[in-house]
Amino acid sequence: MIGIIGGTGFIGLNLASHLQAVGKPCRTLSRHGLLLNESDAYFSRLNRIAHIKGDIRDAGAVNEFVRGCSCVVLVVSHLLPGSSADEMKTVTSWFTEAFGVALDACRASNVQHLVFVSSGGTIYGENHDCVPVKEDHPLNAQSGYGSFCALLEQLIHTFYHQHGLPFTVLRVANPYGLLKRADKKQGLIDHFIRSARYGESFTIFGTGREVRDYVYVDDLSEAISRALDSSAHNDTFNVGTGQGHATLDVLQMVRTHFNLPEVPIRFEDRRLGDVECSLLDMSKFAQCYGVRCDTSLEEGLAKYAEAESRRRLEGS
């Protein structure tokens, strides 16, 4: 059994759907359970998975959930790249302890493989050369979120060295695709789609030439699944495409593939912690697991638009 903590968020739900499709039993733990409406086209498929309500702060719930799981995937951090300083202070004060409790539950239950989904987009900081970085690139997070992910990674290393907890850390680029929470202003692509459909202006923080690495969520789910298929390498891997796209170019591609109306674009100063360029080299993962995230942004957006249209029709 594969346990996914934080499993009813964007990455968790897509991973659960993928694991179910390839016949790998899984269950999720989250604060809210499955939030999909029963009329959603994905509800019947995802509702066959056990979605257990429980807070990572509840040691009893976490221990009960982990018990019987051979592998555990952690896709929960309670923070976003744009989280404020106040949010950082509030969350880090309790989440670090709760994260340690979850790791200890995995140790106590003899979990054979812990996979932590970390942030490849923020943990390395600014990439002045705009060349895809490898895993040995110095960590120089400029945002609180990136620093927080680095702290959580270090906790995992500590549990490995002190208790032998087998692990894999995946530093993921900017994922996009189906099953994003509608109430979360997270992710450039999905936030822009919602804004354009509501006829709202869209704010770019910076010049619009900032470069990011975008990974299609189906590729990401397959990458996590491949990692779970193998014994833990007790190592860290980047998961991205290595292909950079400027913000304004991304918005134009999204507008075309989703047939969106023109909306006013506002420019504001880059936010504290934002970087000009972030790209990941996935060669190490590809060499180890034999797969890479090679869906181009154009191809991924086309697949995303088609899948969303099908979901709307099937759910209507």
In this structure, what CATH number is given to the domain that contains residue 69? 3.40.50.720
Would you state the pLDDT for residue 182? 64
Domain range enclosing 170: 2-315
Closest alpha carbon to 72 in 160, 163, 3: 3
Quote the pTM value. Answer: 0.95
The type of residue at 204 is: I
CA distances from 95 to 75, 78, 88, 117, 124 (A): 13, 8, 10, 16, 22
Would you state the pLDDT for residue 167? 98
Place of tokens 């934002």: 274
Residues of the chain scoring pLDDT < 50: none
Tens of pLDDT, residue by residue over 224-245, are 999 999 999 999 999 999 999 9
Residues 76/56, Cβ–Cβ less than 8 Å: yes
Domain count, the chain: 1
Average pLDDT, rounded, for the chain: 92
Distance in angstroms (rounded) separating the CA atoms of residues 309 and 79: 30
Would you state the pLDDT for residue 85? 67
